[in-house]
Amino acid sequence: MRKIAIVGFKGGIGKTTTCVNLGAALALRGHRTLLIDTDTQANVTMALGLKKYEKTLTHVLSHKATAQDCVVKARKNLEVIPSDIGLFKAQQRMVLEMAREEIFEDLFAELTDYEYQILDCAPSVSLLTVNTLAYVEEVFIPVSMEMLAVSSVEQFINYLKDINRVMGRQTAIRLIIPTLYDPRRKISQQVVHTLKKMGPLVADPIWIDTRLSEAPGKGKTIFEYAPRSRGAIDYARLTEFVVEMPPIGTNHKGT
Ligand SMILES: Nc1ncnc2c1ncn2[C@@H]1O[C@H](COP(=O)(O)OP(=O)(O)OP(=O)(O)O)[C@@H](O)[C@H]1O
Ligand SMILES: [Mg+2]
């Protein structure tokens, strides 16, 4: 099983869009995939149009439910552990327990029936993010086409080094994903050029496509909402790239 966190300290850079559409594309290719929403904004469930669920990650953290109890079927091969606004308070109440880096490993121990687990993160440093980074083996960082987004990647690379050192982990930045790429704007090419010099592997960009911003409002993935759109083509290509990445440890470009 591959455990991947979609992380970035900047807001609105396409983390949730990538989580949902990468997950959807993996599921369409027949891979059993679980999305875990660790962001109190609960955007993953909204984007997938899920309304009927009672238990969320908040209940798991508060030991009121098991992770398995919270799994919601979203599509064929695609399941979700939802989040809710209560997650923020649950995290505060659990400060001491969450200071243990293996807490997610314990809580998610029974979730073995998947080929991919993808965790969507909030755009901030929190105990939830730290625990997510200690749980996964791979990190994907979406980056929008602004120089400020590039500097937040630099900050994140250093932050992950600290986390790995303190926690004795080797979580790797496996992929940087340029998002909201606009070929008409020179800054897009400049940002991609800069990203390619940073070390981690850089995927082909996800172009800006209004269909990608419309789909979540309809509770649909891009493959359901606009299967022939640029966004659908880009996320299908990204997914193929992700599936074909060499196993961890053999990619010398990981940080
Ligand atoms: N390639 C794209 N083209 C057009 N719109 C996009 C694209 N990617 C994301 N968006 C839109 O940009 C907004 C931010 O995207 P998204 O919610 O995925 O970012 P995020 O990093 O998860 O944000 P947050 O930090 O708030 O969780 C959303 O309205 C989304 O629909
Ligand atoms: Mg998000």
Assess contact for 108 and 67: CB atoms under 8 A: yes
pLDDT tens column, 167-210: 888 998 999 999 999 999 999 999 999 999 998 999 999 999 99
Assess contact for 3 and 117: CB atoms under 8 A: yes
Alpha-carbon radius of gyration of the chain: 17
**Which atom of ligand 1 lies closest to the CA of 211?**
4
CATH of the domain at 109: 3.40.50.300
Lowest mean pLDDT among 116-125, 129-138, 181-190, 243-252: 243-252
- The reply to whether 141 falls in a domain is yes
- The reply to whether 100 falls in a domain is yes
Count of domains forming the chain = 1
Q: Write down the pTM of the prediction.
A: 0.95
Q: Whose CA is nearest to atom 3 of ligand 1?
A: 208
Share of the chain above pLDDT 70, in %: 96
Query: In which band, very low, low, confident or very high, does the pLDDT at 252 lie, cut at 50, 70 and 90?
Result: very low
Kindly provide the residue ranges of all beta strands, DSSP E only, lying in the chain, ordered along the sequence: 2-6, 33-37, 72-75, 78-81, 116-120, 138-144, 172-179
The boundaries of the domain holding residue 59 are: 2-243
pLDDT tens column, 131-159: 999 999 999 999 999 998 899 999 999 99
Question: How close is the Cα of 127 to the center of ligand 2, in Å?
Answer: 17
- The reply to whether 11 falls in a domain is yes
**Which atom of ligand 1 lies closest to the CA of 142?**
21
- The reply to whether 255 falls in a domain is no
What residues are in contact with ligand 1 under a 6 Å CB criterion? 11-17, 39, 41, 43, 123, 179-180, 206, 208-210, 212-213, 216, 231
pLDDT tens column, 22-63: 999 999 999 999 999 999 889 999 999 998 889 999 999 989
| Long-range contacts, stretch 190-193, CB < 8 angstroms, 24+ apart | 190/147, 191/143, 191/145, 191/146, 191/147, 191/149, 191/150, 192/145
Query: In which band, very low, low, confident or very high, does the pLDDT at 250 lie, cut at 50, 70 and 90?
Result: low
- Between CA 70 and CA 111 the distance in angstroms is 11
Structure tokens that stand for 116 in this block? 């991919």
- The reply to whether 251 falls in a domain is no
**Which atom of ligand 1 lies closest to the CA of 41?**
27
Report the amino acid identity of residue 157: I
For residues 2-30, average pLDDT:
96
Assess contact for 143 and 195: CB atoms under 8 A: yes
Q: Whose CA is nearest to atom 18 of ligand 1?
A: 14
Helix (H) or strand (E) holding 150: helix 147-167
- The reply to whether 126 falls in a domain is yes
pLDDT of residue 253: 47
Question: How close is the Cα of 54 to the center of ligand 2, in Å?
Answer: 21
